[in-house]
Amino acid sequence: LLSKETHTRKNITMIHQLSRELIRRGSSSARTSATVSFRPAAAAAGRCFSSGGSIHWSEIPMGPPDAIIGLTEAYKEDMFEHKVNVGVGAYRSDEGAPYVLPCVREAESILMGQNLEHEYSGIAGDPDFVKLSLEFVYGTDSKPLIEKRVAAVQTLSGTGGLRVFGEFLARHGHKHIYLPNPTWGNHIPIFQNAGLEVRKYRYYDTENSDLDYDNMISDIKDVPEGSCVLFHACAHNPTGMDPTMEQWAELSQITKDRKIMVFFDCAYQGFASGNAPQDAGAIRMFIEEGHNLALVQSFSKNFGLYGQRVGALSVVTANDAEKAAVESQLKITIRPMYSNPPRHGARIVKTVLSDPRLTNDFIDQCKGMADRINDMRIKLRGTLEEVGSTHSWEHITKQIGMFAYSGLQKDQVLALRDNHHIYCTLDGRISMAGGTSKKIEDMAKAI
């Protein structure tokens, strides 16, 4: 190629320049293109340099913005002084500021004094954290825990646990999963990307702003035997409307009779009612009635550890052999996905839940957050009625947890945003944790 008879010195210099540039740009084929034939290299370089686009990435379409992240960005760009963001699922103080639990601050101080290393955790995470997480949700007197037949791993908060379990199901014979309609928006792409068909069961009566229990029961009775059905353990997102314990008992019997695999998503334990055992009531009932269920936990909301990605995934099995097999497959799923989970957030939760005094502090502080949210519900409903709304707002105080499913339609939500600088999601979900005493009246008047 580089013989004097074939190429001038100028051509040789150009070939070397093109070769170096293509290799610098990271193309694995650049070495071949530049050294085997001048013309392919030159053509590739022409496409790279003259069009202003990359030969590799120019055809990639722009994806739609995430609904929640896009909402936050729009809020930040709004220069109105009294704007309100009640769209994001994160707790705020009554001054509208991010809130760090004092027990979390104390746990961080304790950890700082221990001069801890930053080695990798195992694939399954911190075993002490996992143990305390299971006791927190199942109870220390839980029969499956005592019998040591619960397979469990630390996960990247609830989202990571959902994805791991979705892929676990897809790897082991499941083709679909049933979700409530409506459900948390991220549930659907998580399970679709894990390779499962998403099917839905009716859950909410929008006309009456209430749980659509009769249709829910009817749909679950039609679920094929052996299917996986996801339930929100408490504080259903986005509706805030949960079954009663009597209704949970009926659901337990129906799913047991139909050999349904029950999968609980528990994102708000202690944060919903202010009482952690109460918020885990449905889970513990299903366990007592013999379900070998699966469960994902998140510590983002109740501990305020949004950015630490702390969670756990557990599967109740029948015996030691099943536990070992399930745990091994969960690790096989995790290893190529993210290898192992982060350590700092898990250490914070472990420090709090392993210390009786800090645990009591956490219970009090978590209840304080739940009480403020419930207070915002009462104030919003009362103010709406005071300012003259003739619509019934009873559902706001019947619902529980972080969100109020207002019943506002998309055009009304956009009018709130455009005309009153109040930001909530397009389905009318309002984060009561984002409301403040000073802004409730403005919100009510705008609505």
Respond yes or no on whether the N-terminal peptide bond of residue 182 is cis (omega within 30° of 0): yes
| Tokens read off for 183 | 């459900």
Q: How far is CA 241 from its chain centroid?
A: 19
Q: At which residue do the structure tokens 């939760």 appear?
A: 349
Residues 67 and 429: beta-carbon distance below 8 Å: no
Residues 326 and 144: beta-carbon distance below 8 Å: no
- Give the CA count within 13 Å in the CB-facing half-sphere of 353: 22
Tell me the residue type at 109: S
For residue 66, what are the contacts with CB-CB under 8 A and spacing of at least 6? none
Cα–Cα distance for residue pair 158/425, rounded to 1 Å = 21
For residue 31, what are the contacts with CB-CB under 8 A and spacing of at least 6? 19, 22, 23
Backbone Cα Rg of the chain: 27
State the catalytic residue, choosing from 126, 184, 242, 427: 184
- Check if 301 is active-site: yes
For residue 173, what are the contacts with CB-CB under 8 A and spacing of at least 6? none
State the catalytic residue, choosing from 126, 212, 265, 427: 265
Burial class, 258, CB count within 10 angstroms (exposed 0-12 / middle 13-18 / buried 19+): middle
DSSP secondary structure letter of residue 224 = P
Cα–Cα distance for residue pair 117/111, rounded to 1 Å = 11
- Check if 184 is active-site: yes
Concatenate the DSSP letters of all residues of 155-221 into one string.
EEHHHHHHHHHHHHHHHTT--EEEEEES--TTHHHHHHHTT-EEEEEE-EETTTTEE-HHHHHHHHH
| Tokens read off for 291 | 């379900």
User: 263: part of which helix (H) or strand (E)?
Assistant: strand 261-266
DSSP secondary structure letter of residue 92 = B
Respond yes or no on whether the N-terminal peptide bond of residue 238 is cis (omega within 30° of 0): yes
State the catalytic residue, choosing from 242, 248, 301, 350: 301
Cα–Cα distance for residue pair 392/427, rounded to 1 Å = 18
Catalytic machinery residues: 184, 265, 301
